[in-house]
Chain A
Amino acid sequence: MTSNNESQTLSLEKGINALKEQIDAPTAAFFSSCVHCGLCAEACLFYTETNDPRYTPIHKTEPLRRVWESEYTLFGKLKKVLGLAKPVTDEMLTEWEPLIYDACTLCGRCSMVCPVGNDISAMIRKVREGMVASDHAPEGLVGASTRAVKIGSPMGLRYKALAAQIKHIEADTGLTIPVDVAGADYLALLSSMEIINFPEYIESLAKIFKQANISWTLSSDAFEATNSGIQIGSSDIARELVQRVVDGAEKLKVKYVISPECGHAFTAIRWDGPNLIGKPYPFKVVHILELLAELQKNGLIKTSGKLEKKLTFHDPCQLVRKGGVEAEPRRLLAQVAPDFVEMSEHGKMNWCCGGGGGVSASERADELRLKVFKRKKSQLEEIDVKLVVTACANCRLVLEEGLEDNQMDMPVIGLTELISEHLIEE
Chain B
Amino acid sequence: MELFGNANDFLIWVRGDAFSIALGVFVVGVLIRLLEIILLGRKVDYSEARGTEWGPGLKNIITRSKVDNGTFKRAPFVVVVGYIWHIGFFIVLLLFVPHIELINATLGLKWPGLTTPLVDAAAAVTMFAMVVMLWHRLTHPVMKFLSTYEDYLVWLLTFLPLLTGYIAFHRMIAPYPLALGVHILSVELLLVVFPFTKLMHAITLFMARWYTGAIMGRKGIKS
Contacts and interface: CB of A to CB of B under 8 A. Distances in A.
A123 B205 CA distance: 16
B171 interface: no
Interface residues of A, number: 63
Interface stretch (A125-133, A136-144, A201-209, A269-277): A269-277
A37 B78 contact: yes
A35 B36 contact: no
Interface string A275-312: 10011110011000000000000000000000000000
Interface residues on B, range: 35 or more
B221 interface: yes
B136 to A, nearest CB: 9
B50 interface: yes
A29 B67 contact: no
Interface SS, B side: helix
Contact of A274 (B42, B46, B142): B46
A87 interface: no
Contacts of A171: none
A26 B42 contact: yes
Contacts of B38: 25
A344 B204 CA distance: 33
Given A117-B60, A275-B47, A26 B215 contact: yes
A192 interface: no
Contacts of A117: 60-61, 64, 205, 208-213
B222 A23 contact: no
A39 B75 CA distance: 7
A58 B60 contact: no
A59 to B, nearest CB: 6
B146 to A, nearest CB: 4
B170 interface: no
B177 interface: no
B82 interface: yes
Interface string B180-223: 00000000000000001010110011011111110110011111
Interface string A21-51: 0011111111011111111011100011001
A113 B219 contact: no
A323 B219 contact: yes
A111 B212 contact: yes
Contact of B70 (A73, A324, A345): A345
A324 B32 CA distance: 36
Given A59-B145, A74-B32, A324-B219, A34 B40 contact: no
A116 B148 CA distance: 19
Contacts of A42: 71, 74-75
B159 to A, nearest CB: 15
B112 interface: no
A326 B210 CA distance: 22
Interface in B24-66: 32-33, 36-48, 50-51, 60-61, 64-65
B121 interface: no
Contacts of A59: 145-146
6 contacts: A35-B151, A36-B137, A36-B146, A38-B75, A113-B68, A119-B215
Interface of B: 32-33, 36-48, 50-51, 60-61, 64-65, 67-68, 70-71, 74-75, 78-79, 82, 137, 140-148, 151, 196, 198, 200-201, 204-205, 207-213, 215-216, 219-223
Given A33-B207, A324-B50, 20 more contacts: A25-B207, A29-B204, A29-B207, A32-B33, A32-B204, A33-B205, A38-B142, A43-B71, A53-B142, A53-B144, A56-B142, A75-B196, A111-B212, A112-B68, A113-B67, A117-B205, A117-B208, A285-B48, A323-B221, A326-B221
Interface of A: 23-30, 32-39, 41-43, 47-48, 51, 53-54, 56, 58-59, 72-75, 111-119, 122, 270-275, 278-281, 284-285, 320-324, 326, 344-345, 348-349
